[in-house]
Structure 1
Amino acid sequence: MILKKILTLFILAALLTTVTLPAYGQLIPLKEIENVEMVLYGQPGTGSVLARIKRIELDLFGSAGKGTLPERSNQILKYALPTEDSPSLQLLINCLEWSLLNSISRGAAVDRVAELEEMIYGASKNGALLNRINELLEMTVPGGKLPVAEVEMPEGLVIEAKLLDEIDSAVLTEGQFFRFEVTEDIELEECMVIPTGTRGLINVDKVKEAGGFGKDAELTLSLSDFKAIDGTMLSIEFFSGDDDSHSREIAVGAGFLGALLVSNPVGLVAGYFYKGKDVVIEEGTPLSIEITNGLTVYGLKTN
C-alpha cells in the first residue's frame, strides 16, 4: 500500500514537471487590449475576452479575425498602439485634428473620427476605422501619408501650460480632477511632439479646510494623465525652477508657503471664530511642468 502511494506521487510529480507553460508571446495581452479600448471607446470593455476582441476587430478592420486569441490580439496591437516599426492609431488621429483644428481633443477615437468626417464630408461614415482614417489622410494631407519620425524626449524638458478651471479649496473633494492645457508648441529635432492645446489633468490629493484661529486652508495637488502627440504616456511633475524643490506633488497653502502668524488681540475664544483664507487658484493661472522620464516618441515633422 505504501509502495503504491509512493509510485502514484512519483508519477504525478513526473507529469507536473513535463507540463510546459505557454511562452509570453502566446498569452492574451489583456492590459494592452484594455489600453486599445481606452483609445477607441474611452473606457475598458466588458464581457468575455472573445467578445471584446471581436468588437475591436469589427471596428478597426471591418471584420472578425482568425486564429488564436493571442494572435488576434497581437494583430490589433500592431495597428492600434505604437510599436518600434510604426506609429499609433492615436498619433494619426491627433495629427489629423491638429492639422485641421489646431487643437487635440481627449475623446474616444470612434467619436473623434466621426466628428472629423462631419467637418470634412458633412456626415460621418461607416466601415472599418482604419480605412476611414486613411480616407481622411488622403483628403487632408499631401500624399495621404503623415510625415512622422522617432524623437528622443529628454528628461527635464519644461512645458508651459495654463489652468483651465478655477480651483477653490472651499468646494473641493479629494480625488477631484481639474484640467490644464499646453500653451506653447514643443518641437524636438524639427518634429512636433506636444502641440499647443494638449490637455492633462491635475488631481486633488488632499484638502484641509480653512479653520478657526485664522488657519488657512491647505491643498495638495499632483499631475497625472498626460500624453505626447503619439499617445505615449509621459511622467510629469510641477516645475518650480529650483532643482532642490522638485516633487511629484505640490502643496498650496500654509504648509507650502511657510508658517502663518495671526495676530489676535481679542482673545482665544473670539479667535476660534476667525476663519483663515481658502486657497483659490484662478482659471488661466500659468503652470510650468517638467517631463521626468526620458523616452522615445513619434513626432510630426514640421519641415
Structure 2
Amino acid sequence: MGLSMLSNGTGMRRVIATALAFWLVICTSTLPAVAADSVQSADPTDIGVVEKLVYGKTMTGTYLDRINRLERDLFGGEQSGTVPARTLNIQMKAFDSASQESLWMRLRAVEWRSGLPVNETYITERLAAIETYLLGEPQTGAIVTRVDRLVSLWFVGGKISTGDIVIPEGTVIELELAEQVSTETATPGQVVKLVVTKSVVIDGALVIPAGSTGEMLIKDASPAGHAFKKAKLEVELRRVKAFDGTMLPIVPEAQFVDDSDQAVTTQLAMGASILGMALLPPLGLAAGFLIKGNQIVLEKGLEIRAAVKADSVVRGMWIVPLGD
C-alpha cells in the first residue's frame, strides 16, 4: 500500500506530522529481488536486450547479422557454434551477475575504484567515458580487451575479488530524489529515479555503490484545481540496484525502527515527508515537501532513508587498499 495525502496548505503539514507515525510503516514494495532490470531474465533469443545494454539501442539487420556485429565488437571476431550458444555466450559476458567476468560488473568496479560517478548507461558509452578520464580519449579494439586493460590498471593481476554477500533485512540505504515531483505534472504509473548517496559496505565488501539508482512509483496523482479541489499524491518505494545489478526491494527505514526508542520515533515523525520515509536529519517537513500554489511538490535532492526489505544475496566486491 502506498501513502496518499491531500494538500491543504498549513493545516496539511500538521496532519502529516501527527499521522505519519502510523503511515510510515505502510509504504511497502511487493517486488522480489531480481536481476538488473529485465536484462538477465530476458528470453535467451532476444538479442535486442543485449544490443540495448551494449549500444543503448536495438540494431538493424538479420538476427545472424546482429550476432556477428556483437561478437566483432565484443570479442574482436565472429565466434563458432550454434546461434543459441553464441547468443548465450554474449549475454553471459555482458551482464551475468554471478560472474566476476561480467563486463557490466567490471566496468562498475573500475568506475568505483577510479572515483568516477557510477554510470548506468550502456556499455560502449561507459567504456568511452572511463577511457577518456584515464587515457585522454576513447580507445579502439574489442570491448572485452579494452575493459581488461582498464581492470589491469586498477586491480593487481587484473583480478577483481568478488563474493556472494548477504545484505540483511533492514540494511539502511541513503538516497535522494533525482528529479522534482509535482502533482501538477505527475501521472499514475510514473517511475521516479532515486540515487544512492552513500555506498553500502558489508563485511568489507561493496554491495551498493554510491551513484546506484533506485525507483519510486507514483501510484496516484492529481493536481489541485478550482472549486476547492485538493492536490493528491500517493507514492511507493520500489527498489534499488546493487553492485552486481540485482534489483533489491526497499521500504521506508521506519518499518525497522524499534517503537520503544521514543527519541528515534519522534525524530521520524518530525523529519519525514509524505513519502512515508524518514528524511536525513536535520531536515524537517519544509525541507523536501512544499506546497506551491496548492500543488504538492517533492524537490529534487530530497534526502530519503530507506531499508532493504528482506535478506538478499548479491555479488559484492571486496574492498582492499590499492596494491594489496
Instruction: Name the TM-score, length of structure 2 as normaliser.
Output: 0.67
The residue aligned with 1:151 is 165
Distance in 2, matches of 1:231 and 1:38, equals 15
The residue aligned with 1:287 is 304
Amino acid across the alignment from 2:242:
A
Pairwise CA distance, 1:224? 5.0
Distance in 1, matches of 2:313 and 2:219, equals 30
Q: Secondary structure at the match of 1:52?
A: helix
Q: More displaced, 42-51 or 122-131?
A: 42-51
- The answer to whether 1:96 aligns with 2:122 is no
Larger radius of gyration: 1
- The answer to whether 1:105 aligns with 2:119 is yes
For residue 60 of structure 1, the aligned residue among 65, 70, 74 is 74
Q: Secondary structure at the match of 2:130?
A: helix
Q: Secondary structure at the match of 2:166?
A: strand
For residue 44 of structure 2, the aligned residue among 12, 29, 43 is 29
The residue aligned with 1:51 is 65
Pairwise CA distance, 1:219? 1.6
Aligned residues: CA RMSD: 2.8
In the TM superposition, structure 1's runs of 4+ consecutive aligned residues that sit over 6 Å from their partners are none
Does the aligned pair in 1 maintain the 2:97–2:246 contact within 8 Å?
Answer: no
The residue aligned with 2:214 is 200
Q: Secondary structure at the match of 2:210?
A: coil
Does the aligned pair in 1 maintain the 2:207–2:314 contact within 8 Å?
Answer: yes
- The answer to whether 1:140 aligns with 2:154 is yes
- The answer to whether 1:80 aligns with 2:97 is no
Does the aligned pair in 2 maintain the 1:217–1:276 contact within 8 Å?
Answer: no
The residue aligned with 2:234 is 220
Query: Unmatched 5+ residue regions in structure 2?
Result: 1-42, 258-272, 276-291
CA distance 1:222–1:128, shift in 2 (3 Å): farther
Q: Secondary structure at the match of 1:125?
A: coil
Pairwise CA distance, 1:72? 0.7
Distance in 2, matches of 1:241 and 1:169, equals 26
Distance in 1, matches of 2:319 and 2:150, equals 19
Percent identical among aligned pairs is 31
Instruction: Name the TM-score, length of structure 1 as normaliser.
Output: 0.71
**Greater length-normalized contact order (CA 8 Å, ≥ 6 residues apart):** 2
The residue aligned with 2:25 is none
Distance in 2, matches of 1:280 and 1:230, equals 33
Distance in 2, matches of 1:129 and 1:282, equals 39
Pairwise CA distance, 1:58? 1.6
Query: Unmatched 5+ residue regions in structure 1?
Result: 1-27, 244-250, 254-274
Aligned residues: 247
Distance in 2, matches of 1:87 and 1:294, equals 25
Amino acid across the alignment from 2:312:
L
Distance in 2, matches of 1:144 and 1:153, equals 27
The residue aligned with 1:163 is 177
Does the aligned pair in 2 maintain the 1:88–1:231 contact within 8 Å?
Answer: no
CA distance 1:68–1:293, shift in 2 (3 Å): farther
Distance in 2, matches of 1:285 and 1:29, equals 39
